[in-house]
Structure formats: structure tokens, C-alpha cells
Amino acid sequence: MDLATLIGIVAGIACIVGSIWYGGDIWSFWDFASVIIVVGGGICSTLVAYKIGEFAKIIKVAVKVLAGKESRPQDTIKMLIELSVKARREGLLSLESDQEDIQDDFLKQSLQLVVDGVEPEVIVDSMDLELENMSARHNKGAGIFKTLGAQFPAWGMIGTLIGLIQLLKALDDPSAIGPAMAVALVTTFYGSVLANFICNPIANKLALKSREEIQEKKMIIEGVLSIQAGENPRILEHKLKTFLSPKQKQEYEMESEKGSEGDSRVNKDESIKDAAV
């Protein structure tokens, strides 16, 4: 699970529950009728706005946000450099045997177009179209949570109006005023929590992950085109590092230095063995 998401959920629940517990009885914030009004109403309104098939994917989208791995473009750059070195030594057709070991379908498709001898302009158009469709799918998933984030507070207000109406009708019965006021206030509380603690943050997280993924795919396109053009791997590496953030660039440099030291030790050990033989 994404560490920031996990910390946010745990700390947020602790803040809400701790505040309620410190102020009094936690069960005074539970009202089943308010749950039905806010959650049921918000989901029903979202169903009106979207197709049933799109709404059914909401659980899969939520799981992707919570359980998704952190993207590491540094590893993608290393793979592209290795492919570039191999292509310069053995030719572009030699890359076909490496596609089975590549997990990224986008990179695999791009390399297949290169191996097939497709023109660079056609590769760019094809991969850009793939990115546009992927961005549209991501925006649709984030849009569902944004809609829920807008509907839950609205239905909380509807619940408040229902509670106030019940309150006004029960003014002559003091015993009914308390439950009616609870419904009026708790529904607004539920709507605000669901919108600002669950739905809107998930929508923002989806949008952030979408931007990161699209940026990485653009880096892959640039790398594949450079491999097809036969550019020097050093130039390719410098070009791809411009897609990294300063922190990612620093991590990449440190990993590259460690890798170079390891290769030097291996070569030294092999030389010693050859000399001994």
C-alpha cells in the first residue's frame, strides 16, 4: 500500500475518533437513518450520472489507489539504456527476444513497432493515441470520486433539512426533539467526512498517479525513438534523466555508481582468476 495513503487514513481516523471520544459519547455520532440518507443518496445520484458498468469499476479503482506500487522511472531508464546498447551492438531485430521479459505493455508495444520497422512518425502518433485513451480512462475513474465528493455533502444537507422538518413538527413533544436534531446535524457530519476525507483525496491521488504514469510513458516514447535512431546510450541517458525529479535523479546517480563499482569488482575478480589459470 502507498505509505502516504496509509498514514493519511490511519491518522485521519485517529483524529476524528479521538476528537469525538475526548468530547463525549462516541455513539452519539452514530445514526443509521443518517447513513442511509447520505451514503445511499450519494451513490444513487452518482448512478444517475454514470453508467452502471463504469460505477461497478469504482472498487477496482479504489484498490488501485490503496495498493498500487510507487512508480520508479529510474528502473525504466536503466532498461532503455540496456536495450540501446544491445541494439547498437546486435541491431534492432535483436530486441525482439527481450520483449518476453518486459512487464510494461506500453514499452513492449513500442519496441514491437520499432522491430517491425515502422516509421518514427507513425510510432509517435500511435503511442500518443494510446496515451490519450489511457488519460481518458483515468479521468473517468477520478471523475466518479469527484462526483461522490460533491454528492455526499449535498445529501448531508438534504438530511439536515429532513431533520429540521421533523424537529419543527415535534416542537410540542420534547422527547422527539433530540433524535430529530441528531439526524439534522449528523447527516452534515457524515457528508463532510465522506467528501473531504475519502472521495476528494482519492480523486486527487488518482489524478496524481495518472500524471506520473503519463510522464513515464512519454519518457518511454522518447527512449524508444532514440533507440530506433541509433543514438549513443550516453546521450540517451542524459536525455531521459531530464524526466526525473531532482530526488529521483540523485537516487539514479547513486544506484549507477554502485552498479559501476560492482561491475569493476567483477571484472577485477575475473582478471585475477584468468591470471591464476
For residue 210, tell me if it sits in a domain: no
pTM of this structure: 0.79
For residue 276, tell me if it sits in a domain: no
Report d(CA 196, CA 183) in Å as an integer: 20
Q: What's at 81, amino acid-wise?
A: I
Residues 225 and 148 in one domain: no
Contacts of 103 (CB under 8 A, 6+ apart): none
Task: Render 61-96 in DSSP notation, one character per residue.
Answer: HHHHHHHPPPP-HHHHHHHHHHHHHHHHHH-GGGGG
For residue 246, give its domain range: 73-121+218-271
pLDDT in tens, the chain (277 residues): 577 788 888 899 999 888 888 877 778 788 888 899 999 999 999 999 888 887 777 767 667 666 666 678 888 999 999 999 998 888 888 888 877 778 888 989 998 899 888 899 999 999 999 999 988 888 888 888 999 999 999 999 999 998 888 788 777 777 777 777 777 889 999 999 999 999 999 889 888 888 888 999 999 999 999 999 988 989 999 999 989 888 888 888 888 877 655 454 434 444 434 444 4
Residues 187 and 259 in one domain: no
Report d(CA 162, CA 36) in Å as an integer: 13
For residue 207, tell me if it sits in a domain: no
User: Domain tally for the chain?
Assistant: 2
Residues 144 and 193 in one domain: yes
For residue 82, tell me if it sits in a domain: yes
Residues 64 and 136 in one domain: yes
Residues 150 and 48 in one domain: yes
